[in-house]
Amino acid sequence: MRLFVGLGNPGSKYAGNRHNIGFMAVDAIARRHGFAPWRKRFHGEAAEGVVDGARVMLLKPATFMNESGRAVADAANFFKLDASAIVVFHDELDLPPAKVRVKSGGGIAGHNGLRSISDHVGNDYRRVRLGIGHPGIRDIVHAYVLSDFAKADRPWVEALCEAAADNAGLLAAGSDATFQNKVHLAMQAKGFGGADEGAGK
C-alpha cells in the first residue's frame, strides 16, 4: 500500500487557490485511474484504488493546511506504513510555475503542511514539489498562495496535474527520478516550461 497525500485547504472558498494544487493533483490521479468514490476518513477525504498494479490510498486532509499531519498520521498508522510509503503532493514557491521535483526528506521551506506532517510521521516521506512560482516579495507570499490561480495559469496547472496522474505508477513503484523526467517531457511536449534545471533541487 502507498499513501498519496494531496495538500490543500478544504471547502469551495479555497478550491482554486495556488496552495491547493496538491488536492488538484490527487483528484487527477483518482479520475485517471478510476478510484473508488471519495469518502470521509482519516480526518479528511480518502479514495482507494490501484495504479499500475500497486494499491494506493489517496488522501486529502480536511484539517486545514497547518494540521495536515493529523490526517496523514491516522492513515499511516491504520495501514502500518512507514514514511517511505508516503508521497505528499504540495505547492512549491521555490520552483517556477509548471515545474516538478521529487525528493525524499529534507527541509520544509516554511510550508506549514509539510511542517505538520514532519511533526507527526518524521521527515523521511517523499515530496512531489509542484512549482507555483514566487510573487517576488516575501510580505505577500501568504496572500499569493491563498489566492486563485490566474485564468492564464489554468492550462499549465491542468496539464501538470494530468501528467502527474499519467505517470503516478512510477511513484508507486519508487521510480521517482523517472517520474520527474516523464512529467517534465510531457510538459515540454505541451509547450510548457523551458530547459530543465536538473533533478533533485
Report if pTM > 0.95: no
> Among this protein's residues, is 43 annotated catalytic?
no
Q: Delimit the domains of the chain by residue range.
A: 2-189
Q: How many helices (H) and strands (E) does the chain have?
A: 7, 7
45 SS3 class: strand
Domain 2-189 is found in CATH 3.20.20.70: no
Reported as a single tens digit per residue, the pLDDT across 31-67 is 999 999 999 999 999 999 999 999 999 999 999 999 9
Q: Which residue has the cell 512529467?
A: 183
Q: Which three cell numbers stand for residue 155?
A: 492550462
Residue of 19, 33, 90, 111 marked active site: 19
Cell numbers found for residue 194: 523551458
Q: Give the CB-side neighbour count of residue 153, counting CA atoms within 13 A.
A: 17
Burial label, 75 (beta-carbon count in 10 A; 0-12, 13-18, 19+): buried
Q: What is the pLDDT of residues 137-165, one digit of tens each?
A: 989 999 999 999 999 999 999 999 999 99
